[in-house]
């Protein structure tokens, strides 16, 4: 959805950082009333602890959940391998590239094995070339772990490339106005015809969400068929 429509607010409500003004959030039948270890969160600015090494940043959520020492070490080794960060565990955040920081933030959020991983425009602060590279990294990590992910983005291409389902919010009052499935095989081909059609359908859904008229009757018909 467009800026200011409530994407981040919805994410923080799911995370338990703030209360909803109406309705409720349930995870596995339990109502969300506060932050909890069943939800991981990845911020746009990485939010790594600067005084901790890569190793300690990743271990932190496991220690909070009182995971036994041997299990922590096994999970740490597994996550470093997934993110191709072996040999970097003794470095501090300021010694890492932007891409490495994002991968550390992602696997730290996965470390405690949350039920849901929440990501607030995690790639919004990097350039296009780095963004597409990190999208590939995130997809690989997700395919290995298969945690449910809810990600905020305003990027049409990113939404189609990473998502199985895209929820579009209106410009006013944060209402959900479209729910578009993305039934494309992985890895996805950005140059493929079906990929392009999905992008067109999502772009048209955003136009409608912003109160604009459809570009053409055919575009509106394709949206309805999505």
DSSP 117-174: EEEESTTTTS-HHHHHHHHHHHHHHHHHH--EEEEE---HHHHHHH-SEEEEE-SSTT
Residue 124: pLDDT over 90:
no
Whole-number pLDDT of residue 218: 61
Residue 107: pLDDT over 80:
yes
Residue 101 to residue 98: CA distance in whole angstroms? 5
Residue 154: pLDDT over 70:
yes
Residues of the chain above pLDDT 90, percent: 50
Q: Which CATH number fits domain 7-154: 3.40.50.10210, 3.40.50.300, 3.20.190.10, 3.40.50.620?
A: 3.40.50.300
Its pTM stands at 0.83
Q: Where are the domains of the chain?
A: 7-154
Whole-number pLDDT of residue 188: 94
Region 180-207 average pLDDT: 94
CB-based contact 141:110 (threshold 8 Å)? yes
Structure tokens given for 159:
């939404």
Distances (CA, A) of 50 to 59, 111, 145, 156, 158: 14, 18, 26, 32, 29
Confidence of residue 174 (pLDDT cuts 50, 70, 90): confident
Specify burial of residue 92 (Cβ count, 10 A radius: 0-12, 13-18, 19+).
middle
Confidence of residue 173 (pLDDT cuts 50, 70, 90): confident
Residue 134 to residue 106: CA distance in whole angstroms? 11
Whole-number pLDDT of residue 207: 87
CB-based contact 202:160 (threshold 8 Å)? yes
Region 176-201 average pLDDT: 94
Residue 179 to residue 159: CA distance in whole angstroms? 12
Whole-number pLDDT of residue 14: 95
Region 29-50 average pLDDT: 89
Residue 151 to residue 134: CA distance in whole angstroms? 14
Residue 225: pLDDT over 60:
no
Whole-number pLDDT of residue 44: 79
Confidence of residue 104 (pLDDT cuts 50, 70, 90): very high
């Amino acid at each position: 959805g467009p800026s200011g429509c409530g994407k981040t607010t919805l994410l923080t409500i799911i995370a338990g950082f703030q209360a909803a003004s109406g309705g409720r959030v349930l995870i596995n039948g339990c109502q969300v009333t506060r932050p909890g270890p069943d939800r991981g969160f990845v911020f746009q600015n990485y939010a790594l602890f600067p005084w901790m090494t890569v190793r300690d940043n990743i271990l932190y959520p496991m220690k909070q959940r009182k995971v036994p020492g041997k299990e922590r070490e096994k999970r740490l080794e597994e996550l470093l391998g997934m993110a191709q960060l072996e040999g970097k565990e003794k470095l501090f955040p300021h010694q890492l590239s932007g891409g490495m920081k994002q991968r550390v933030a992602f696997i730290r959020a996965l470390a405690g094995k949350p039920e849901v991983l929440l990501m607030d425009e995690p790639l919004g602060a990097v350039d296009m070339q780095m963004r597409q590279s990190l999208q590939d990294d995130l997809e690989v990590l997700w395919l290995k772990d298969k945690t449910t992910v809810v990600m905020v983005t305003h990027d049409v291409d990113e939404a189609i490339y990473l998502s199985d389902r895209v929820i579009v919010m209106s410009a006013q009052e944060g209402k959900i106005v479209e729910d578009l499935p993305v039934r494309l095989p992985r890895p996805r081909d950005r140059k493929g015809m079906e990929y392009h059609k999905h992008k067109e359908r999502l772009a048209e859904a955003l136009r409608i969400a912003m109160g604009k008229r459809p570009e053409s009757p055919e575009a509106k018909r394709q949206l309805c068929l999505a």
